[in-house]
Amino acid sequence: MRKLAASFLLGIAALAGTPAAAATLVGSVPGAPDPGASGALTLDFEGALPAGIVFAAGSTYQILQGFQPKQGYAPAGDLTRYLSVPGGGVAGSATLDFTDYVGAALGDFSFYWGSIDRANELIVETSAGVLSVLGSDLITRGYGSETSATGNRRVAVALAAGETLRRLTFSSPTSFELDDIVFQQAAGGAVPEPATWMTMIAGLGLVGAMLRRRARRGAAA
Residues 82-103 have pLDDT tens digits of 999 997 678 999 999 999 999 9
Residue 8 has pLDDT above 60, yes or no: no
Mapped onto helix, strand or coil, the DSSP state of residue 3 is helix
Q: Cβ atoms within 10 A of the Cβ of 85, count?
A: 24
For 108-157, the DSSP string reads EEEEEEES-BTT-EEEEEETTEEEEEEGGGT-SSSB--SS-STTSEEEEE
- The DSSP output letter for 49 is P
User: Which of the four pLDDT bands, split at 50, 70 and 90, describes residue 190?
Assistant: very low
**Nearest C-alpha neighbor of 162 from the set 117, 205, 129, 200:** 129
User: What gap in Å lies between CA 30 and CA 126, rounded to an integer?
Assistant: 26
CA angle centred on 193, ends 97 and 133, rounded to 5°: 50
Residues 12-30 have pLDDT tens digits of 444 444 334 489 999 999 9
User: Which of the four pLDDT bands, split at 50, 70 and 90, describes residue 53?
Assistant: very high
pTM, entire model:
0.78
Residues 69-82 have pLDDT tens digits of 888 899 999 999 99
User: How many residues make up the chain in this entry?
Assistant: 221
186 or 199: which leads in pLDDT: 186
